[in-house]
Homo-oligomer: A and B are copies of this chain.
């Protein structure tokens, strides 16, 4: 039986007392961005809480209370994991029914009135100021399926794939928080790649796709030229979010050689707003996909359970554009966060091994997470076999790729209702029509 709070928390909430994630809120009465945590359907405004002596029972945070007045979580992240753990544990206690500090909040009517807000009344913002964003490719089932579509089954996985966490630098400026509309991108498209002397067309993307990923925010910093050893890399990880790495497949096919994806990815990447700490996910650590190649020593982790068994789900919500049909919602993907061949600490170790500096607020993406079953594929490209099959939705609708008005909603949760769910809430984005262009 999980810890019980004096606040009402539905058993089905991903934000049980076992979670205590961190995010950035604003509210109509207080438009300044500020840190908060969430429990059930309430958020705790940590700026007000800190200013009104809410942290009086936690000595270690006293020299650092100004981090709760910041407009991002970067300053809090910089404090490091031992402090994050203490803050989370303290908030769990303060919010628990049998709290050791009842006078702090439970029995403090005036602070409760000021600091505890209905979650529906606040606006969520990007939790971190993101310096650099790197997207990896650690979902081997995705890499194999998509590699086969792009380069044929003989070259599905490149020779390096099992030796190193393949990744590329993404675009930090287009990372947006859940709920931000995603505009259909324009770009160059080769309509018939088989035709000789074929010229690219300039048009709105016709093969707009999502990619189901986990994201990880960095809290550690290494100087230029100084690698982070793999067994220390976990201390560099502040927490996790869900991520949708929106992809324009037709732009990607034409542009990606030889330097990798560019405009096919940099028009938007959506993340969920609450950063879930490693401490909260630790009970759900499991072994990931076994690598049948022994990695080089700098990538060998002592830790065996280096992935998280997060139940990931993708829902496609239509705007009801088919004649006569209203909006419908269809679950199109169910898989687990454990379907990765490389762990985030391995990604950090590889990313820094040549000397690249990490900074607090940097974001790493896992790569698309897919299982091996038809219903566990983390992108439409995999589900439609490279654009060849229609995917059936509720209400008789069908999709090959995303239509204007469609909303992709990613959710992810660990654990049981009995012990208290640990989840991320939603990572959602609706496709809006392409801009008008004179062309």
- A-to-B contact residues, CB < 8 Å: 131-132, 137, 147, 150-151, 158-160, 163-164, 166-174, 176, 180, 183, 185-188, 190, 199-200, 202, 205, 224-227, 248, 251, 254-264, 266-268, 296-298, 350-351, 353-359, 362, 435, 437-439
Contacts and interface: CB of A to CB of B under 8 A. Distances in A.
B173 A356 contact: yes
Contact of A266 (B147, B169, B187, B227): B169
B167 A357 contact: no
20 contacts: A160-B255, A164-B200, A166-B258, A168-B169, A168-B262, A169-B169, A172-B172, A173-B357, A174-B357, A176-B224, A183-B355, A187-B353, A200-B296, A202-B297, A202-B298, A226-B435, A263-B354, A267-B355, A267-B356, A268-B355
Contact of A259 (B137, B151, B163): B137
Contact of A186 (B160, B260, B353): B353
A263 B163 contact: no
A321 to B, nearest CB: 21
Which of A167, A183, A224, A261: most chain B Cβ within 10 A?
A: A224
Nearest to A165: B262
A151 B262 CA distance: 21
A42 B180 CA distance: 49
A132 B188 contact: no
Given A258-B150, A298-B202, A183 B225 contact: yes
